[in-house]
Amino acid sequence: MPFPVTVGVDGSPQSLAAADWGAQEAELRGLPLRVINVWPKPFPLPEAPEARQALEHWGQRVPRETEARLRSGHPALELTVEQIDGEPEPVLSAAAKESTLLVLGSQGLSGTAGYLVGSTGHLLLGELKEPPLVFVRSPGKGQRAPAPDGPVVVGVAKGADEPLEFAFEAAARHDCPLRAVHVWRSPGYFGFGLVAGDSLTGDHAQREAAALTEALRPWRERYRTVEVVEDSAPGRPVDLLTDAAQGASLLVVGHRSRHFPLGARAGSVTYGVLHHVPVPVAVVPHR
């Protein structure tokens, strides 16, 4: 049986946007959708049965309303909605191991909400080696929703094939163009007030553009129907990826967990785009 698309919900606008995105993606992939609401472990209220009943009723509101929303919009979708007692990080981490995708809500620059509260999102990003995580934002006041027919944008890094495969598959599945963005550092030929000449910088730019073309070559051959735009430029990765993602339907970035004394973490580019990019962001682990 194929693994489902799994969505974590908590009733926030961001998690509802994630549920909608996950339902559409599950339908497109022909996969079931599993929706999980993590509820704190119950504590005994022996002398307050009314309070306990009110708490249980309130706790069931999120899965009940989410299920009604999804069944109304996607009546043919194979849907499972669960409420699981516990803490979000271990519950979602366990669910992710039997999922094709794990989808969560994100609020962006104004802070983080839902399952990104505290360290949960950081822990999941740093520790999960699979599957890809997709973070979906709810459009704020005056903001446009992501264009469903916009391109898939992917950040290209040397030796990271998994994000490229995910991005090409997404572009082929959604029948949309793919924009491959390769960000590089300008050569630092500095000394005694001298900088590199235009010829040196131009030669370096050509080499970087050629490297991008070569990295994409096997994927172009495998996905011949996907229209590909190559974008190779110097600069800060977060800035260029944020600019490239404007009008996109999806941004794909790779990440490799980094281990520190206090635990594993994802890189600064991943966190940077999650805070700035208004479209869904797929974070794809790679070796």
Q: In terms of C-beta density within 10 A (0-12 exposed, 13-18 middle, 19 or more buried), how is residue 243 classed?
A: middle
Q: What's the confidence (pLDDT) of residue 266? A: 53
Higher pLDDT, 156 or 204: 156
Report which DSSP code applies to 108: G
Q: What's the confidence (pLDDT) of residue 108? A: 54
pTM (two decimals): 0.86
Whether the predicted pLDDT of 4 surpasses 80: yes
Give the mean pLDDT of the chain.
84
Average pLDDT over every residue of 153-169? 95
% pLDDT > 90, the chain: 57
Residues 6+ apart with CB under 8 A from 115: 8, 10, 15, 38, 88, 92, 104, 105, 121, 124
Which residue in this structure is represented by tokens 């994100």?
Answer: 106
Which residue in this structure is represented by tokens 């704020």?
Answer: 140
Q: What's the confidence (pLDDT) of residue 191? A: 45
Using one digit for the tens of pLDDT, what is the confidence trace for 39-84?
887 666 565 666 666 666 667 899 999 999 999 999 999 999 999 9
Whether the predicted pLDDT of 248 surpasses 70: yes
User: First and final CA of the chain: distance in angstroms?
Assistant: 27
What domains does the chain contain, in order, with CATH numbers? 1-144 (3.40.50.620), 146-287 (3.40.50.620)
Q: In terms of C-beta density within 10 A (0-12 exposed, 13-18 middle, 19 or more buried), how is residue 110 classed?
A: exposed
Whether the predicted pLDDT of 264 surpasses 80: no
List, as one string, the DSSP characters of 9-31: --SSHHHHHHHHHHHHHHHHHT-
Average pLDDT over every residue of 21-30? 97
Q: What's the confidence (pLDDT) of residue 127? A: 74
Whether the predicted pLDDT of 137 surpasses 60: yes
The CA distances from residue 49 to 39, 44, 54, in Å, are 19, 10, 9
Top-ranked range on mean pLDDT: pick from 112-116, 141-145, 218-222: 218-222
Residue 177, SS3 per DSSP: coil
Distance from chain centroid for Cα 177 = 19
Cis before 131 (ω within 30): yes
Distance CA 97, CA 244 (A): 31
Average pLDDT over every residue of 90-98? 94
Q: Measured on CA atoms in the order 252, 87, 73, 110, is the torsion positive or negative?
A: negative
Q: What's the confidence (pLDDT) of residue 40? A: 81
Top-ranked range on mean pLDDT: pick from 31-45, 76-90, 140-154, 246-260: 76-90
